[in-house]
């Protein structure tokens, strides 16, 4: 069946039911693409496993991070209507009756993440506060009618799970009822009254607290609502507040000022607003990185460039955690898809087991790894032969290398955190404030070769005692929290340092007093005074280097330095790192942060980039006249200013194209010329597609 027609634009293809397969398993696509792929099934399974783990971990993190916010929100919701029903004769409550309790939830600019947050919020509220939670989006509610309609239909749905029987009758009403606040409150009364007798039987917490649970309305994107709808709704519902206990939650992306900009004073005075600030997305990112990448829990790692790209997209484009995780997913997929040895990218015991079953082909793959080759070259010649010829010894070696890699990572992250403790509070943050910046630098090269590192050491040498001690304390905690054996004595050493610092306090005072006493100035003549002053000066300059504290500080700094030099080797020095590290930053950038403009421009400007024909090779900025017509036309149009004359354009085009032909320009038959001249206008519509703003 053709997919072009002059009468319609949509073509449905529906294969017969008998013919249709149950559905091709996804794994098939994983291996078919590459003909010589090894263990593709296993790789795909590993991918799915790791991805599931990562996903659940991120969800858990999100929940954890939102917990504080949600707790305070719930508290607010619970208190807001509590006074309402108990002592309604109180005068202050009368006033409060008029005010709709409102929570303004500032979510930040990362709009894409809001959905997830609000969804979990809805869930939490439904479990803890009230079954009646409705969330509305601006695009669903262009006017009051739709607003109420959505509200009512969602409210009814909320109730469905409680009394499914009534659903049908409710829906019948729904069709006919003219939506109004009156009908809504009437409905509410009927529902609460009806359920009242049932309530005690239910074990939910909210039922015992309130006879009538409040209705929570979440406006997901407060900024994009029409002001009129909002205003009307608020005014109307404040009138009905006593019979319809409404609570509003505004999702705000920008700043709380927006409430007052959207709502005039008369309306906003009907609200009793409380502000809630959600977690900043940067913190969120740090936690995610911390828990997903800076840990040995997940074997998969990112190389420096990839990490840089992902964080750049995050910081410069959208601040969206969702997108960051999507990037992570893509890199995970790409890694398993393109690297046959990624089969070893799993937890250590499993990886060791898998090495046993590696095929001869895979062994060859291992030998081909650059990092492994480097490693082999360093070995004795006997071992080299063994590694290169015998699969058995290769597998054994691989196992031990994998274990080394694991140990390397354990130590690496500990030392990284430790170094971060030292650098994160230095003035001007030479190695970055966030651990991810430090991580990036350490991944890239030997950190101790960089200027920033040198300046860090210098700054550390200037630290005061209490600062240094605080840092050491933190480091001690970091090391203590881990169970790594090798670094166990490091923790001990830090403890010693701490003890020494403490003991310094007492000894230092004694020294000072003794020095002062011995150097107490006596009454002398000028010559002696000068002499003694000079002596003192000398003494001071020498003693400066000799203060116990300074010696100790120097020791600490060199200790940290030695730690860094020993453990923070960049991963590409480690044999077999290719199995765990995804390094193809190029593909990631292409797929996530593509630049269609550049692609179009390159295609038009430099066709050789795509069509590897020698005839098209040319110096910068020139196009041979054999190039595709569209390139020539584009080039000519670039020559022009903002507007272009079609005739001139076509004539110029003809000149360029005919210049290639040997014949005298005069001998070109009119028809051929016609053809050439007409040609650009066949293309014309296409160029205008690609370069419309330029041609106008």
Partner 1 sequence: MTSTLELKEDKMLKVQFVGDDDVLNHILDREGGPKVKKERAQLLLNTQKIIKKPENELEEDDQEVLKDQNYVEVLGQDVQESLKNGSATDGGNKVYPFQNRKHPEKMAKLGHSASDKSQLKNNDKSEFLSTAPRGLRKRLIVPRSHSDSESEYSASNSEDDEGVAQEYEEDTNEDILSQKIQAQNRVVSAPVCKGTPSKKMKRKKTSHLVEEYFEAHSSSKVLTSDRTLQKLKRAKLDQQTLHNLLSKVSPSFSAELKQLNQQHEQLFHKWMLQLHLGFNIVLYGLGSKRDLLERFRTTMLQDCIHIVINGFFPGISVKSILNSVTEVLDHMGTFRSVLDQLEWITNKFKEDSSLELFLLIHNLDSQMLRGDKSQQIIGQLSSLRNIYLIASIDHLNAPLMWDHAKQSLYNWLWYETTTYSHYTEETSYENSLLVKQSGSLPLSSLIHVLRSLTPNARGIFRLLIKYQLDNQDNPSYTGLCFQDFYQQCREAFLVNSDLTLRAQLTEFRDHKLIRTKKGTDGVEYLLIPVDNGILTDFLEKEEEES
| Residue list 278-317, contact with partner 1 (CB under 8 A) | 305, 308-309, 312
**Contact call for residue 414 and partner 1 (CB under 8 A):** no
Stretch near partner 1 under the rule CB under 8 A, chosen from 163-171, 530-538, 551-559, 615-623? 615-623
Q: How far apart are CA 294 and CA 57, in angstroms?
A: 13
Among 45, 57, 140, 561, binds partner 1 (CB under 8 A): 140
Q: How far apart are CA 450 and CA 426, in angstroms?
A: 17
**Contact call for residue 610 and partner 1 (CB under 8 A):** yes
Residues 526-555 that bind partner 1 (CB under 8 A): none
Q: What are residue 122's DSSP bridge partners? A: none
Among 128, 322, 347, 555, binds partner 1 (CB under 8 A): 322
Residues 79-138 that bind partner 1 (CB under 8 A): 110-112
State the SS3 of 514-575: HHHHHCCCCCCCHHHHHHHHHHHHHHHHHHHHHCHHHHHHHHHHHHHHHHHHHHCCCHHHCC
Q: What are residue 250's DSSP bridge partners? A: 104, 219
Q: Return the structure tokens found at 285.
A: 């990112």
Residues 38-77 that bind partner 1 (CB under 8 A): none
Nearest distance in Å: CB 692, partner 1 = 6
Nearest distance in Å: CB 303, partner 1 = 11
Count residues contacting partner 1 (CB under 8 A)?
126
Residues 22-41 that bind partner 1 (CB under 8 A): 23-24, 26, 29-30, 32-33
Output 316 or 527, the one with its CB closest to partner 1. 316
Alpha-helix residue ranges (DSSP H) falling in 196-303? 205-209, 227-239, 257-262, 265-268, 281-292
Output 390 or 590, the one with its CB closest to partner 1. 590
Among 133, 219, 281, 616, binds partner 1 (CB under 8 A): 616
Stretch near partner 1 under the rule CB under 8 A, chosen from 119-127, 328-336, 398-406, 473-481? 328-336
Stretch near partner 1 under the rule CB under 8 A, chosen from 62-70, 174-182, 530-538, 650-658? 650-658
Stretch near partner 1 under the rule CB under 8 A, chosen from 82-90, 174-182, 411-419, 611-619? 611-619
Question: For residue 284, how many other CB atoms are within 10 A of its CB?
Answer: 22
Among 333, 415, 417, 448, binds partner 1 (CB under 8 A): 333
Output 391 or 444, the one with its CB closest to partner 1. 444
Among 349, 483, 647, 669, binds partner 1 (CB under 8 A): 647
**Contact call for residue 648 and partner 1 (CB under 8 A):** yes
Q: How far apart are CA 181 and CA 145, in angstroms?
A: 11
CA neighbours within 13 Å on the CB side: how many for 79?
8
Spatial CB neighbours of 100, under 8 Å, sequence gap ≥ 6:
234, 237, 238, 241, 246, 247, 248, 270, 271, 272
**Contact call for residue 211 and partner 1 (CB under 8 A):** no
Assign 218 to helix, strand or coil: strand
Output 58 or 399, the one with its CB closest to partner 1. 58
| Contact track, partner 1, 349-378, x by CB under 8 A | ------------------------------
Spacing of C-alpha 551 from chain mean position: 43
Nearest distance in Å: CB 617, partner 1 = 10
Among 300, 337, 372, 408, binds partner 1 (CB under 8 A): 337
Nearest distance in Å: CB 295, partner 1 = 24
Among 206, 413, 476, 649, binds partner 1 (CB under 8 A): 649
Q: How far apart are CA 239 and CA 216, in angstroms?
A: 17
Output 36 or 659, the one with its CB closest to partner 1. 659
**Contact call for residue 644 and partner 1 (CB under 8 A):** yes
Q: Which residue has the tokens 């993190």?
A: 61
Spatial CB neighbours of 64, under 8 Å, sequence gap ≥ 6:
none
Q: How far apart are CA 135 and CA 376, in angstroms?
A: 62
DSSP 432: -
Nearest distance in Å: CB 38, partner 1 = 16
Q: How far apart are CA 289 and CA 301, in angstroms?
A: 11
Spatial CB neighbours of 576, under 8 Å, sequence gap ≥ 6:
344, 366, 369, 371, 372, 398, 401, 402, 405
Residues 661-690 that bind partner 1 (CB under 8 A): 662, 664-666, 670-671, 673-675, 677-679, 681-686, 689-690
Assign 452 to helix, strand or coil: helix
Q: How far apart are CA 578 and CA 652, in angstroms?
A: 54
Cβ density class 427-444: b for 16+ within 10 Å, e for less: eeebbbebbbbbbbbbbb
**Contact call for residue 487 and partner 1 (CB under 8 A):** no
Output 546 or 685, the one with its CB closest to partner 1. 685
Output 72 or 149, the one with its CB closest to partner 1. 149
Output 223 or 561, the one with its CB closest to partner 1. 223
**Contact call for residue 19 and partner 1 (CB under 8 A):** yes
**Contact call for residue 156 and partner 1 (CB under 8 A):** no
Question: For residue 401, how many other CB atoms are within 10 A of its CB?
Answer: 22
**Contact call for residue 641 and partner 1 (CB under 8 A):** yes
Question: For residue 513, how many other CB atoms are within 10 A of its CB?
Answer: 10
- Alpha-carbon distances, residue 422 vs 378, 414, 417, 642, 673 (angstroms): 35, 13, 9, 57, 75
Among 240, 242, 326, 395, binds partner 1 (CB under 8 A): 326
Residues 589-608 that bind partner 1 (CB under 8 A): 589-607
Q: How far apart are CA 407 and CA 403, in angstroms?
A: 6
In this structure, are residues 412 and 267 in contact, taking their beta carbons and an 8 Å threshold? no
**Contact call for residue 625 and partner 1 (CB under 8 A):** yes
Stretch near partner 1 under the rule CB under 8 A, chosen from 93-101, 368-376, 539-547, 625-633? 625-633
**Contact call for residue 318 and partner 1 (CB under 8 A):** yes
In this structure, are residues 30 and 337 in contact, taking their beta carbons and an 8 Å threshold? yes
Output 312 or 379, the one with its CB closest to partner 1. 312
Stretch near partner 1 under the rule CB under 8 A, chosen from 20-28, 194-202, 379-387, 448-456? 20-28
Q: Return the structure tokens found at 605.
A: 């400007």
Output 506 or 696, the one with its CB closest to partner 1. 696
**Contact call for residue 621 and partner 1 (CB under 8 A):** yes
Q: Which residue has the tokens 């040319």?
A: 618
**Contact call for residue 323 and partner 1 (CB under 8 A):** yes
């Amino acid at each position: 069946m053709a997919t072009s027609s002059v009468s319609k634009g949509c073509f449905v293809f529906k294969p017969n039911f008998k013919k249709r397969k149950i559905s091709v398993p996804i794994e098939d696509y994983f291996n078919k693409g590459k003909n010589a792929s090894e263990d593709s099934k296993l790789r795909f399974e590993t991918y799915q496993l790791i991805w599931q783990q990562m996903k659940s971990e991120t969800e858990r993190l999100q929940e954890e991070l939102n917990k504080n916010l949600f707790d305070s929100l719930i508290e607010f919701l619970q208190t807001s209507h509590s006074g309402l029903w108990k002592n309604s004769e109180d005068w202050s409550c009368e006033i409060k009756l008029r005010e709709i309790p409102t929570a303004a939830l500032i979510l930040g600019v990362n709009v894409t993440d809001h959905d997830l947050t609000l969804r979990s919020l809805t869930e939490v509220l439904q479990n803890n506060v009230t079954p009646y939670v409705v969330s509305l989006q601006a695009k669903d509610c262009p006017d009051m009618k739709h607003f109420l309609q959505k509200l009512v239909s969602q409210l009814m749905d909320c109730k469905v799970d409680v009394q499914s029987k009534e659903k049908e009758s409710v829906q019948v009403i729904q069709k006919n009822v003219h939506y109004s606040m009156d009908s809504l409150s009437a409905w509410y009364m009927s529902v609460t009254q009806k359920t009242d007798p049932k309530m005690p039987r239910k074990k939910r917490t909210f039922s015992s607290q309130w006879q009538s649970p409040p209705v929570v309305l979440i406006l997901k994107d407060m900024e994009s609502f029409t002001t009129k709808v909002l205003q009307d709704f608020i005014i109307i519902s404040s009138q009905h507040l006593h019979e319809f206990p409404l609570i509003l939650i505004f999702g705000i992306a920008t700043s709380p000022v927006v409430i007052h900009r959207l709502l005039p004073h008369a309306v906003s005075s009907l609200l009793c607003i409380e502000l809630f600030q959600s977690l900043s997305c940067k913190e969120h990112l740090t936690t995610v990185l911390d828990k997903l990448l800076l840990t040995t829990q997940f074997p998969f790692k990112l190389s420096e460039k990839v990490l840089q790209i992902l964080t750049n997209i995050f910081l410069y484009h959208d601040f969206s955690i969702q997108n960051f995780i999507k990037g992570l997913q893509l890199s995970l997929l790409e890694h398993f898809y393109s690297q046959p040895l990624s089969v070893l990218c799993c937890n250590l015991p499993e990886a060791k087991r898998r090495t046993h079953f590696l095929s001869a082909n895979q062994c060859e793959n291992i030998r081909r790894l650059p990092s492994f080759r480097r490693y082999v070259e360093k070995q004795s010649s006997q071992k080299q032969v063994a590694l290169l010829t015998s699969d058995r010894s290769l597998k054994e070696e691989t196992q031990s290398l994998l274990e080394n890699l694991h140990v390397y990572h354990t130590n690496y992250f500990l030392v990284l955190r430790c170094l971060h403790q030292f650098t994160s509070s230095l003035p001007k943050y030479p190695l970055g404030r966030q651990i991810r910046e430090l991580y990036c630098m350490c991944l890239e090269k030997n950190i101790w070769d960089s200027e920033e590192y040198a300046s860090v050491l210098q700054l550390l040498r200037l630290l005061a005692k209490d600062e240094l001690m605080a840092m050491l304390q933190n480091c001690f905690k970091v090391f203590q929290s881990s169970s790594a054996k090798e670094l166990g004595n490091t923790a001990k050493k830090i403890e010693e340092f701490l003890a020494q610092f403490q003991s310094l306090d007492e000894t230092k005072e004694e020294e000072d007093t003794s020095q002062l006493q011995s150097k107490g100035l006596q009454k002398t003549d000028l010559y002696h005074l000068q002499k003694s002053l000079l002596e003192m000066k000398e003494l001071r300059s020498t003693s400066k280097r000799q203060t116990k504290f300074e010696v100790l500080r120097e020791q600490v700094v060199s200790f940290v330095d030695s730690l860094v030099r020993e453990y923070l080797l960049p991963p590409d020095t480690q044999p077999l790192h290719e199995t765990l590290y995804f390094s193809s930053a190029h593909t990631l950038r292409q797929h996530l942060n593509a630049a269609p403009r550049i692609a179009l421009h390159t295609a038009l400007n430099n066709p050789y980039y795509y069509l590897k024909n020698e005839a098209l090779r040319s110096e910068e900025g020139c196009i041979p006249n054999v190039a595709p017509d569209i390139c020539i036309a584009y080039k000519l149009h670039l020559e022009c200013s903002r507007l272009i004359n079609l005739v001139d354009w076509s004539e110029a085009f003809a000149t360029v194209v005919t210049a290639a032909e040997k014949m005298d320009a005069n001998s070109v038959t009119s028809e051929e010329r016609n053809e050439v001249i007409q040609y650009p206008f066949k293309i014309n519509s296409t160029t205008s597609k690609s370069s419309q703003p330029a041609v106008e």
